Amino acid sequence: MSLSLKNKVVLLIAVTAVIRLIVAASLELGNDEVYYWTYSQHLQWNYFDHPPMVAIWIRFFTANLIWQQYELFVRLGSIAGCAACTWMMYLIGKEIHSEKAGWFAACLYNASIYASIIAGLFILPDSPQMVFWCACLLLIVKLCADEKKWLYWILFSISAGLCIMSKVHGIFIWFGFGLFILFQKREWLKLPQLYVAALLTAAIASPILIWNINNHFITYRFHSERVAVHSFTINTDGFLREVFGQIAYNNPVNLVLIIIALLAWKKQKITRPASLSIYQFIALPMAALLLGVALFRDTLPHWSGPAYVSLLPIAAVYLATRLNLIFPASIRWALGLLLFTIITGLLLIHFYPGTMGSKKKTQLGSGDFTLDLYGWKRTGSIFDTLYQTELNKGIMPKGTPVVCYKWFPAAHEDYYFCRPIGIQMIGLGTPFDLHEYVWMNQWRKNKVNMNSAYCIVPSNEYYDAKIKYADYYEKIDSVTAINNARNGKMARYFYVYRLQGWKHNISLPN
């Protein structure tokens, strides 16, 4: 007896969740992931780079940090969130058009590399953001069906607020929603529900503003510097990287289906419910804006991920309108491409001989993205043995920290080198280099003896420690180089330095 489409979605969620659980448990945390793990150590209303939801996510799914030593539990919120988003995409397609459209929407969501891996496997601000983003998309369907029902407006406003508290990109939900009202649904301007909902979202997101007021708007100073256009010199490389990144991250098959569906929409060849119009008002300005910024400044392709997720229901409705098949070739190709990406990534990370990056000894591994997820745990255990040995011999005093001038590789060393033996990572540098470590210094400064410190420099992120820390320490000596091999060939070195003779105070926010 064949499964119903609803049960097929449940099976899809179960199978993909198991795959993600296996991958999550087999990979070390990446640069961004360990950095967001540091958020969870001290809950705040906002952080240097992002709002607090990712920290809450990690706290909750590690049982208040009890299981934080396991990569699987650090990432578990992403996996659970992806399962919830898959179900919501099914409900969206079902309510807009049919169960078949819901099935296709669920499949396309899981085929998206952004939705399925970046936000659905790795722990990033995008992980909780996508849960509340998809909840907003579902509630838009409900609002369009019953525009005066207070419950839907309140739930929408709460979801939008929590989406913004996950990542400020969530503001595009209200931006697109507002554009739709102005251009196609002005009668909604007479609804008191609209204004109450907008005020509730603003209230929920207000801690971001309050925190920034108290911290000299450092988040906005940082992000505006990343995206502000200071000159109109065309950034060809950055623009092409953004274009091809958007194609790759959102799955080329998905993108082709979205474009075809949008063209069919324009020609009025598919169902045109108001909710799908709203999705376009949300998605198209967001994707276009990021492409426009990429013409002049470097951007990150995954920033546009929510825009393309918002367009997946349109592609799903198009497929449901045109096809009688439950598992057409386009869906098979989309999911197959995702599976190929996962398998290829795992093989490269675990088994590529040596490094795909620089072969120069001092910079060995530079440019090899796979090293972001490989070799930290083993190297950390070797350093921990060295640390304990020198502590026991009296070479270094109790409370000796590890120092770093930049948030990466500081966060990796914090999680894999310092956390296991309860020592502190201290940041020495500027706020724009250290990011959240400037604030963490305040909580950690009374736990350390800054007269001496260690510094660990990975060859793939090489810098001259003797120059970098000359303003802080009188004496800087090279201790050892820890070998980091992969599949029998050297992939990277970790250069360990001993710093002695503290000169200055720890850098604090200003």
- Structural contact between residues 496 and 383, judged by C-beta atoms closer than 8 angstroms: yes
Residues 456 and 483 in one domain: yes
| Domain annotation covers residue 353 | no
Range of the domain at 256: 5-348
Identity of residue 90: Y
- Written as six digits, the tokens of 348 are 């490269």
* 81 lies in the same domain as 170: yes
**Which of 288, 322, 348 represents a domain boundary (last residue)?**
348
Q: Does residue 159 share a domain with residue 106?
A: yes
Q: Which pTM was predicted?
A: 0.94
Does residue 330 form part of some domain?
A: yes
DSSP string, 59-75: HHHTTTTTTTT-HHHHH
The closest alpha carbon to 283, from 412, 137, 450, 385, belongs to 137
Which of these three, 348, 375, 403, is where a domain ends?
A: 348
In this structure, are 294 and 235 located in the same domain? yes
Query: DSSP code of 45?
Result: S
Asked if residue 366 and residue 342 are part of one domain, the reply reads no
Contact criterion met (CB below 8 Å) for 86 and 108: no
Pair (61, 119) in one structural domain: yes
Residue where a domain terminates, one of 327, 348, 369: 348
User: Which pLDDT tens digit goes with each residue over 494-509?
Assistant: 999 999 999 876 655 4
52 contacts 436 by C-beta, under 8 angstroms: no
Determine the pLDDT at residue 268: 85
Burial 327-363 (b: 16+ CB within 10 A, else e): eeebbebbbebbeeebeebbebbeebebbebbeeeeb
pLDDT in tens, 52-89: 999 999 999 999 999 999 999 999 999 999 999 999 99
Do the domain assignments include residue 22? yes
Could you tell me if 421 and 372 lie in one domain?
yes
CA dihedral sign, ordered 244, 246, 251, 252:
negative
pLDDT digits (tens, 9 = 90+) for 366-415: 999 999 999 999 999 999 999 999 999 999 999 999 999 999 999 999 99
Instruction: List Cα–Cα distances, 61 to 53, 72, 116, 345, 414, in angstroms.
Output: 12, 10, 18, 25, 20
* Mean pLDDT calculated for residue range 271-283: 93
List, in order, residues 6 or more apart from 411 with CB less than 8 Å away.
31, 34, 35, 37, 38, 425
pLDDT at 440: 94
Asked if residue 509 belongs to a domain, the reply is no
With bands split at pLDDT 50, 70 and 90, how would you rate the model's confidence at 310? very high
Mean pLDDT of 188-198: 97
* Mean pLDDT taken over the chain: 93
Whether 356 is covered by a domain: the verdict is no
Is 472 in the same domain as 324? no
Confidence bin at 225 (pLDDT 50/70/90): low
Residues 31 and 69 in one domain: yes
Q: Would you say residue 214 lies in a domain?
A: yes
Domain check: are 293 and 198 in the same one?
yes
Per-residue pLDDT band for 510 (boundaries 50, 70, 90) equals: very low
Alpha-carbon gap, residue 120 to 318, rounded angstroms? 25
> With 90 as the cut, is the pLDDT of residue 238 above it?
no
Between CA 19 and CA 387 the distance in angstroms is: 37
Sheet holding 452-458, edge to edge: 425-427, 402-404, 452-458, 489-502, 473-486
Number of domains in the chain: 2
Residues 377 and 248 reside in one and the same domain: no
If asked whether residues 158 and 238 sit together in one domain, one would say yes
Give domain status of residue 484, yes or no.
yes
Structural domain contains residue 510? no
β-strand partners of 499 = 453, 476
